[in-house]
Structure 1
Amino acid sequence: MNIIGQVIDSMIRYYSGDVHQINHFLKVHGFAKTIGEMESIDKDIQELLEIAAVMHDIGIKNSEKKYNSSAGSYQQIEGPPEARRLLEDMEYDPELIERVCWLIAHHHTYDNIEGMDYQILVEADFLVNAYENNMSKDQMRNIYKKIFKTSVGKEIFREVYNLE
């Protein structure tokens, strides 16, 4: 089994029985994989992006337990330690683990997006959240203007949500 398959398997077990969370991270992964491949990003960055996309919301479970909330600010606190534990158990490269944890710790922070992995992760998450959160067309247009930077992410967003 490749690294992405291992991470997906681990996250399905982590969120066992939580169909919403499992479906969410699989959809975010699908968009992140597609955008990254179509933007022709470096293969190592692509792998890191896909791992982060699968694990990006790993902090929700502990956020709900500790704070009775799944707010993004709590996810960014609670997610990295859980991701680190899972990835270290799988004996992954420490540099990969650091970047994945950093992305998880910042995936709800949009004011200083640096790096294609970060940009694509945020775009992929918004592609899914726009539907799951039943955003209005005005909210979607605003997000599109403020967040989306990759040509592929923009095209997918316009097509999926039928935006002009």
Structure 2
Amino acid sequence: MTIAEILRKMIAYSNGNIHDIDHLIRVWTYAKTIGELEGIDKDTQFILEVAAIAHDIACPLCREKYGNTNGKYQEEEGVPLTKELLSDCDMSESQIERVAYLVGHHHTLQEIDGIDYQILIEADYIANATENGYSRENIENFMSKIMKTESGKRLAQDIFCL
């Protein structure tokens, strides 16, 4: 399956929730941009983009089950949902496992173990900061302590006029 087909599948899964759809498209766009600017290999770029599209797959379930979309709940509930979503997407088992791992850790800022994970964290943060109006201090703190890619930092500087 292509990225476009997986994106369409995730949009359909979002069941008309415009906020969720806009957010996943925003995170995917930032992740795609950072990954391409960083020059990551084609396979890692694919995993990154699929993870960016699916990263908040658990939000509808978490709203229903817990009454909120707490990051830890998203991580716990997201892994099996991601595996189910991707089960018929012509991806290898190792690709699906890596995407599920990334979805299951996208709120965990410690022990980031790959460029795909790093970029997903950066892209999700930038999207959340734009959507929620994070303070300049918060953004600068995240950039200095968590962001590692030069492309992510430049993108955040351009977006937030830093």
Common fold: TM-score over 0.5: yes
Structure 1 match to 2:19: 20
- Secondary structure of 1:106's match? coil
Where do 4+ consecutive residues of structure 1 move more than 3 Å? none
Aligned residue pairs total 162
- Number of the residue aligned with 1:44: 43
- The residue that corresponds to 1:3 in the other structure is 2
**Match in the other structure for 2:145:** 146
**Aligned position for 1:131:** 130
Which amino acid in 2 is paired with 1:18?
A: N
Aligned Cα RMSD in Å? 0.9
Identify which of structures 1 and 2 has the higher relative contact order when contacts are C-alpha pairs closer than 8 Å and 6+ apart.
2
CA distance in 2, matches of 1:95, 1:157: 31
C-alpha distance in structure 2 between counterparts of 1:61 and 1:17, whole Å: 11
Unaligned runs of 5+ in 2: none
**Cα distance in 1 between the residues matched to 2:116 and 2:83:** 18
Distance in 2 between residues matched to 1:149 and 1:40, nearest whole Å = 14
Are residue 64 (structure 1) and residue 44 (structure 2) matched? no
1:26 alignment partner, SS class: helix
- Structure 2 Cα separation of the partners of residues 73 and 119 of structure 1: 18
Alignment of 1:42-121 (within 5 A): 42-121=41-120
For normalisation by structure 2, the TM-score amounts to 0.97
How many percent of aligned residue pairs carry the same amino acid?
Answer: 44
Q: Which amino acid aligns with 2:137?
A: D
SS at structure 2 position matched to 1:107: coil
TM-score (norm 1): 0.96
**Structure 1 segments unaligned to the other structure (5+ residues):** none
The alpha carbon displacement at 1:101 in A equals 0.3
